[in-house]
Amino acid sequence: MSENDKRFEGSIPEIYDNYLVPLIFEEFAHEMADHVAKAAPREVLETAAGSGVLTRVLAPVLSCETNYIITDLNADMLERAKRQQPLNENFGWQVEDAMDLPFETNRFDVVCCQFGVMFFPDKVAGFAEARRVLKPGGYFIFSVWDEIQHSVFADHVTRAVGYVFADDPPVFLARTPHGYFDLTRIVGHLKSAGFAQAEIRTLTLPSVAKSPRDVAIAYCQGTPLRNEIIERDPDGLERVTDHATQHLESVFGSGPISGKIRGYLITAEA
């Protein structure tokens, strides 16, 4: 994984929240929130919270007595999340690395992480840290995307951008968000981190956008794919976004478009 894969800075958080969240994250957030709420936790830690889509969906379904700490490695993303969420005395917001959490051992009933573990540089170490801060019998609930061909829009944007930079195609989307999909490998990493068992649900949900342009902006400008594009052509972001838009229009048409995206919701018991 490139260091650029973790750079959600500048205008990325706002574009990510406005375009990418409704495109691919909101429906999955409801699934995870329901799963977390069923555990009736009193202490919840969210890692890699991003711009806060899970936070916004989960907070209203938790007990009013639940303490909820929301963390992310990127200060800009966490600030965006905090601005979108009403103040609550039971909430804590902290810029923290999921690989090195500052919390005491056996504190939380649930640690949840929506589509963030793919960014862990050492999956076993990251899982072990979640295991450390969980109470015995607590749950680590997280999600990952399936490989990129099961995410129709991400796949097409990757192809379109690759055509522009044929000699050095940017592959952020395939490499990182859609690069940790092997369930046998994931379960092995969980066992190595000390989790006894894991339950896996496959979720195939709709991905809907008002236009192909919205999809192109979401991926080309609202993710670290933007960093890869600018590295190759500092003035080419709009040109590449336009090319991705045209490609999507050629495949899906020019009006509202929809596709499918597949991921896995995984629950590991401490």
- In the prediction, which pLDDT does 143 show? 98
Percent of the chain with pLDDT over 90: 90
Tokens of 15: 């574009």
Is 227 part of any domain? Answer: no
Is 97 part of any domain? Answer: yes
CA of 30: how far to CAs of 35, 37, 131, in Å? 9, 10, 24
Residue 7 has pLDDT above 80, yes or no: no
Domain count along the chain = 1
pLDDT (tens digit per residue) in 96-136: 999 999 999 999 999 999 999 999 999 999 999 999 999 99
Instruction: Give the whole-angstrom CA distance, residue 44 versus residue 91.
Output: 10
Is 178 part of any domain? Answer: yes
Single-letter amino acid code for the residue at 142: F
Residue 5 has pLDDT above 70, yes or no: no
Tokens of 45: 């830690």
Is 125 part of any domain? Answer: yes
Which domain does 141 fall in, by range? Answer: 3-148+170-205+260-269
Instruction: Give the whole-angstrom CA distance, residue 131 versus residue 138.
Output: 9
Q: Would the pTM count as exceeding 0.85?
A: yes
- In the prediction, which pLDDT does 197 show? 86
Is 185 part of any domain? Answer: yes
The residue count of the chain comes to 270
Q: For residue 243, what is the enclosing H or E element? A: helix 237-252
Is 43 part of any domain? Answer: yes
Give the CATH number of the domain where residue 118 resides: 3.40.50.150
> Residues 139-150: what's their mean pLDDT?
98
Is 85 part of any domain? Answer: yes
The strands making up 108-114's β-sheet, listed across from edge to edge, are: 91-95, 67-72, 43-46, 108-114, 134-145, 257-269, 197-209
Confidence of residue 11 (pLDDT cuts 50, 70, 90): confident
Phi and psi torsions of 177, nearest 5°? -55, -40
Instruction: Give the whole-angstrom CA distance, residue 107 versus residue 96.
Output: 16
Q: Are 54 and 33 in contact (CB under 8 A)?
A: yes
Is 244 part of any domain? Answer: no
Instruction: Give the whole-angstrom CA distance, residue 259 versus residue 214.
Output: 14
